[in-house]
Amino acid sequence: MTTVSSFDRDEAFQLLRQLVAVRSYPGEERAVQEVVAGWLTAAGLAPEFQATANGQPNIIAQISNGPGPTLLLNGHVDTVLAVEGWPCDPWQGRLEGDRFSALGAGDMKAGVVVNMLVARALARQRDAWQGTLIFSSVTDEEAYSFGARALVASGLRADACIVTEPSFDALIIGAPGKILVRATAVGKAAHGFRPHEGVNAAIELARFIAHFAAAVPTLHHPHLPTSQTVLSFLSGSAQYVITLPERAEALITRQIIPGESEASLLDALHAFAETLHSPARFTFTIEPPYYPPFELGQDQPLLRAMRDASAAILGTALPVGYSSGVSDANIFAGEAGIPTVFFGPRAGDWHQSTEWVDLSTIVPCAQIVLETALRLLRNGE
Ligand SMILES: [Zn+2]
């Protein structure tokens, strides 16, 4: 297998600077997506704007190149909000040696650059592969993943997916999911001096909250973290009145691992509530965003291709690793059932004022992704 295309570090850096310069908080991605679409058009691709639930478009560019498998290359263009303390303009960034600091540089506009360069390379060498390549630049990953969800809801089918989130030293093949549950207790109002005439919802929900974590334990996974806790508790009136609170609400967050689901958690919470024999009525509802967990099997063709590609480019095959957070990979793998790996340029400090990416990892990352694509979409297979 020979890599038929070469990538240019300076071009990659200029493109990264262009994307970074356009502010793209969740809900305002359109301007940067127009830059992405403009570049793709100039590169001879045919980008399409896809509507998403936050009113901002995904950019999809499909290269159909005969029968064969479909590979999805995905990245997100939204960034978190700029925190205090940036030592430079977060949208201009600062270059020190090989390290470029800017908002969204690592998470993950450098990864979007990789996908743009690889899509163009594949478009230029159609005789070297067969199948379909779908490039996607999505919105809202840092909030509700509206972009990835819109892509899946559009009927997306793919045999493999690479999400170029920052992870240059390992191929990330699994991550826990996360689930948000609103627990509500409904009691009965009464005069605060005659509590025996009512049911104090605050006390009843507090009993539940104090003990649910021990009663509804998380599963164990050798590589994926689990956790659960209460994020908020609301009850009673904000205004002082001597009335027993008739309603209390708490928000429970939990990381989930393969084997757990929305239904299994709701069942467990209901079962524990029963054991309290509370006079209050408990209800549990799932609130967005829900992210299913995922774990790719070690024998997947995608993983084999990525290992081989990394060995061809770097000299040694990259090890596999696991993520502790959620990303759009959870949506593609967990929701749409597409074998997914995330792998991208080396970066760090995301969501901080010192976010950085190592520029020298962009080209080898693009080479590995291209090599993977050529192995998966090999001519005649
Ligand atoms: Zn990200």
**Structure token digits, residue 319:** 């090890």
CB 181 within 8 A of CB 287: yes
CB 205 within 8 A of CB 185: yes
Per-residue pLDDT of the chain (381 residues; tens, 9 = 90+): 444 468 999 999 999 999 999 999 999 999 999 999 999 999 999 999 999 999 999 999 999 999 999 999 999 999 999 999 999 999 999 999 999 999 999 999 999 999 999 999 999 999 999 999 999 999 999 999 999 999 999 999 999 999 999 999 999 999 999 999 999 999 999 999 999 999 999 999 999 999 999 999 888 999 999 999 999 999 999 999 999 999 999 999 999 999 888 898 999 999 999 999 999 999 999 999 999 999 998 889 999 999 999 999 999 999 999 999 999 999 999 999 999 999 999 999 999 999 999 999 999 999 999 999 999 998 544
Ligand 1 centroid, distance to 165 Cα (angstroms): 6
Ligand 1 centroid, distance to 371 Cα (angstroms): 23
What DSSP line would sit under 339-375, residue for residue? -EEEEE--EE-TTSTT-EEEGGGHHHHHHHHHHHHHH
Give 109's strand partners: none
End-to-end Cα distance, the chain: 14
Ligand 1 centroid, distance to 203 Cα (angstroms): 40
User: Which residues are placed with Cβ below 5 angstroms of ligand 1, an ion?
Assistant: 107-108, 165
Cα 259 to Cα 221: distance, rounded to the nearest angstrom: 10
pTM above 0.85, yes or no: yes
Omega of the bond leading into 293 within 30 degrees of 0 (cis): no
What is the four-CA torsion angle of 73, 310, 327, 353, rounded to 10 degrees? Answer: -110
**Structure token digits, residue 24:** 């793209």
* Domains in the chain: ranges and CATH: 9-176+293-376 (3.40.630.10), 178-291 (3.30.70.360)
Q: Which residues of 22-49 are buried (b: 16+ CB within 10 A; e: fewer)?
A: bbbbbeebeebbebbbebbeebebebee
H or E segment at 161?
Answer: strand 160-163
Burial of 215: CB neighbours in 10 Å, binned 0-12, 13-18, 19+? middle
Ligand 1 centroid, distance to 325 Cα (angstroms): 10
CB 138 within 8 A of CB 188: no
CB 94 within 8 A of CB 83: no
